[in-house]
Amino acid sequence: MRDFAAELEARKDAGLYRRRRLVSGPQQPNLTTDGNAVLAFCSNDYLGLANDPVVAEALHQALPETGVGGGASHLVCGHHDEHHLLEQALADLTKRSAALFFSTGYMANLGVITALAGRGDTIFSDRLNHASIIDGCQLSRAKVRRYPHADVAALAELLATTSGHKLVVTDGVFSMDGDIAPLAEMARLCREHDALLVVDDAHGLGVLGEQGAGTLEQLGLSEDDVPILIGTLGKAVGTSGAFVAGPALLMDYLVQKARTYIYTTAMPPAMARATRAALALVRSEPQRRAHLQHLIGRFRAEAQALGYRLMPSETPIQPIEVGDNWAALELSRELEARGLLVTAIRPPTVPEGEARLRVTFSAAHTDADLDRLLAGLADCRCFYPG
């Protein structure tokens, strides 16, 4: 029998062991974790909507009308009016023809990739794509060709030397680096080589674009440029679930073929209504995105002035490069001892030798919160190997 205990010990010895934190109360910058009060800079609640009273009230009002559970899958009797209205709102925000509401971003990626590619097809995947994309590629049974991160020239060469049905899959904003994929160039390549482009904009939705429609809005890319857009609702939108948006024909195809859509209970309808309320705030309150950009600009200038190496990112994901697993853990622990929660990210989430502290910002953070973080980083500079 496999020695699971030995594997766990090996992970501990390598500085790769992970543990869960117990959080009390709502998601917000001031958290209580394991009974301790901390100021958190590690959440994906980029717009501060996870604890917004307007969103919470929409959920509360929906419960007596819709009940608590989804009851069944969308194809049995679980597709509620509220799900339909949310899909229309998502299609409208993203300027796509139609949308499908999925239970999670992970399930959306698995469902889309395995429905659109299979044996005999080829998928092209960025080496830094999210684990859900990687798993979807493997489960599809298609041939997978990985290209170096954001390397358009390498992708072009691979596409030119491959025949048959081709699917190109990428993150819009890369979750551990915070940089944006070269989507305009990728869309051009896909048109030239008759490949279907799929973009998972989990970390761009709500954050980028004039109305918060994400990376594709910011870059001016239409449904013709990027036929399949995937987004999650548990990050900047602040609720739960995910969606896929694109041409009505492809959405209908996914209803027929995406196993993670067909064979799972629909999300609670009340959550769909709360999400519509959150989307309305995403569109009507651009000041949240403006404040985010202000915090990001200040942090980049002042953290680098302290001697910290940052990765190139204009998004709320601002990784501090460390390298060694144990050094990243020590810096994270020292910050936490000062009441600041910044998570150390280690392999296999990032490549070997590229451990980092993943600093993330929320519109709910204040300048005073950022002052505390910068003061903590200044105090912990002696623990930084850079």
Residue 187 to residues 118, 169, 199, 202, 206, Cα–Cα distance (Å): 22, 11, 10, 18, 22
Q: Which structure tokens are listed for 263?
A: 């064979």
- The sheet that has 30-33: what strands, in order across it? 23-24, 30-33, 36-40, 340-341
Q: Active site residue: 235, 291, 313, 365, which one?
A: 235
Binding-site residues, please?
Answer: 18, 105-106, 130, 175, 203, 232, 349
- The sheet that has 355-360: what strands, in order across it? 317-323, 355-360, 344-345
β-strand partners of 198:
169, 228
Q: Which residues contact 273 (CB under 8 A, 6 or more apart)?
A: 58, 59, 61, 62, 66, 82, 85, 86
Q: Active site residue: 203, 291, 362, 365, which one?
A: 203
* Type of residue at 259: R
Residue 86 to residues 95, 234, 242, 268, 384, Cα–Cα distance (Å): 14, 14, 11, 12, 46
Q: Are 380 and 335 in contact (CB under 8 A)?
A: yes
- d(C-alpha 226, C-alpha 168), whole Å: 10
Binding-site residues for substrate, please?
Answer: 18, 130, 349
- d(C-alpha 242, C-alpha 187), whole Å: 23
DSSP letter at 26? -
Q: Active site residue: 43, 103, 175, 362, which one?
A: 175
Q: Across 54-206, where does the E strand assignment appear?
A: 98-102, 122-126, 143-147, 166-171, 195-200
Q: Are 196 and 167 in contact (CB under 8 A)?
A: yes
Residue 267 to residues 89, 91, 103, 229, 248, Cα–Cα distance (Å): 16, 18, 6, 20, 21
Known catalytic residue at 203: yes
Residue whose pair of structure tokens reads 């990784």 in the numeric block = 319
Binding-site residues for pyridoxal 5'-phosphate, please?
Answer: 105-106, 175, 203, 232
* Type of residue at 365: H
Known catalytic residue at 175: yes
Closest CA to 211 of 279, 272, 264, 162: 279
Active site residues: 175, 203, 235
